[in-house]
A and B are shown apart, each in its own frame.
Chain A
């Protein structure tokens, strides 16, 4: 037995091109199980692309991505271990919150009775349960998207700016859920522009700059000051 922690995610020289534009350059990244990794960087740095490649939403144009030591896209049992919240809501506008979550629950084989109502209550969505999601504000849809990602109790949770568009009360609810997920040993990979939130939720942070990892806090717990300083250094240099 080696003392190496089991990996939740490993990117092996993963690149992603869109035509002539390379959004992600030969990225090598390992995330241990139970780790909470924040990805931050300026707009267009490649954060969303990195998350999409890590979640299987985009295939790398070069290199490979392994989740729980199996190559993506993998079989259904592997994909069941991943929860994704993207920039897109993944919600059907003509269905209400309960119908959307019940649908995804069936896709992900969630058999736990009351799970849908439990999540709706935890994210303050009980009052919106029967309304078509077409009528939701951005923040409300964002909360339901988070509920959708958490629904099947994934082992790896990938979230693209989970707190954006939320009012302070909703952001607090969402942050509480993420901190609890971290405490339960769920691996988190998320992007954020909120350094304070990153400092409270993440155990490690990386900074992306033009599709490359420009800074990595390493095993040390990322402090808000260290993140701010790295961000200032890298963005001023570029």
Chain B
């Protein structure tokens, strides 16, 4: 597992293609929403959690798809499938890489988001980080599972968002609601059903990916 994480991070550090594309896409989405919806400052602040998670969700498709590009070049997916490692470990390694990549993207996006929406990000940061992490983990778990499963198909670029996005809807709703509560000053313990949904979604899809990947990833 460590070998796959080391290799993926080395490739990303060397090219920095994915992270720079993600930040650009995330910022563009925030700007487009602001101008397209012609929001007043009060409306912007109200819709800020939705804007943030929309930017993260759509950027995640790009990020997760990119982490498999290197595997497809030279047929390395095949080498990974016949390597003497547990296939669940392949899923977990790719999940860790995707969570790290998306977290780095969020670190860069957050100051821009805070400046554009005037959301009190810095005041609630210690409570916002766990919510961001929980949402990111869920998005990455679903995306990684389907990206690896679709890696051998011809229409993989199209398949990933088509398969992953519908499943991620409940997670994004919970993440938006939890972020809204945290930005409004709520403590983590007061997130109630939204917090539970985030936690349950993460547990379900990390476990499902780990257990099912052996059977999903064939050739």
Q: How far is the CA of A88 from the CA of B74 in the complex (A)?
A: 5
What is the distance, in angstroms, from A98's C-beta to the closest C-beta of chain B? Answer: 12
Q: Which of B74, B83, B218 contacts A91 (CB under 8 A)? A: B74
A-B CB contact pairs (8 Å), 18 listed: A56-B81, A56-B82, A57-B78, A79-B84, A84-B82, A88-B78, A90-B74, A90-B78, A91-B76, A92-B7, A93-B73, A94-B11, A94-B14, A94-B15, A95-B11, A103-B6, A104-B83, A106-B2
Q: Contact between A107 and B74 (Cβ–Cβ < 8 Å)?
A: no
Q: Contact between A57 and B70 (Cβ–Cβ < 8 Å)?
A: no
Output the nearest chain B residue to A100 by Cβ-Cβ distance. Answer: B7
Q: Which of B3, B74, B86, B218 contacts A103 (CB under 8 A)? A: B3
Please give, as numbers and ranges, the residues of chain A lying within 8 Å of B3 by CB-CB distance.
103, 106-107
A80 CB within 8 Å of chain B: yes
Q: Contact between A58 and B219 (Cβ–Cβ < 8 Å)?
A: yes
Q: How far is the CA of A55 from the CA of B75 in the complex (A)?
A: 14
Q: For chains A and B in complex, what number of residue pairs have CB atoms within 8 angstroms?
A: 74
B79 CB within 8 Å of chain A: yes
B42 CB within 8 Å of chain A: no
Please give, as numbers and ranges, the residues of chain A lying within 8 Å of B85 by CB-CB distance.
76, 107
Interface string of A154-190 (1 = CB under 8 A from B): 0000000000000000000000000000000000000
Q: Contact between B6 and A80 (Cβ–Cβ < 8 Å)?
A: no
Interface string of B61-82 (1 = CB under 8 A from A): 0000000001001111011111
A206 CB within 8 Å of chain B: no
Q: Which of A87, A99, A103, A109 contacts B84 (CB under 8 A)? A: A109
A215 CB within 8 Å of chain B: no
Given contacts A88-B78, A107-B83, 11 further A-B contacts (CB under 8 A): A56-B81, A76-B83, A80-B84, A87-B75, A90-B74, A93-B73, A95-B10, A95-B11, A104-B83, A106-B3, A107-B84
> Top 6 closest A-B pairs, CB basis?
A88-B75, A106-B3, A80-B84, A76-B84, A90-B79, A79-B84
Please give, as numbers and ranges, the residues of chain B lying within 8 Å of A78 by CB-CB distance.
84
- Measured CB to CB, the residues of A under 8 A from B are 55-59, 73, 76-80, 82, 84, 86-95, 99, 103-104, 106-109
Interface string of B167-185 (1 = CB under 8 A from A): 0000000000000000000
Q: Which of A86, A92, A103 contacts B73 (CB under 8 A)? A: A92
Q: Contact between A86 and B7 (Cβ–Cβ < 8 Å)?
A: no
Q: How far is the CA of A31 from the CA of B119 in the complex (A)?
A: 68
Interface string of B1-38 (1 = CB under 8 A from A): 01110110011001100000000000000000000000
Q: How far is the CA of A207 from the CA of B204 in the complex (A)?
A: 50
Q: Contact between A94 and B78 (Cβ–Cβ < 8 Å)?
A: no
Q: Contact between B76 and A92 (Cβ–Cβ < 8 Å)?
A: yes
Q: How far is the CA of A80 from the CA of B84 in the complex (A)?
A: 5
Q: Contact between A59 and B83 (Cβ–Cβ < 8 Å)?
A: no
Please give, as numbers and ranges, the residues of chain A lying within 8 Å of B82 by CB-CB distance.
55-57, 73, 79, 82, 84
Please give, as numbers and ranges, the residues of chain B lying within 8 Å of A108 by CB-CB distance.
83-84
Q: Contact between A79 and B83 (Cβ–Cβ < 8 Å)?
A: yes
Output the nearest chain B residue to A79 by Cβ-Cβ distance. Answer: B84
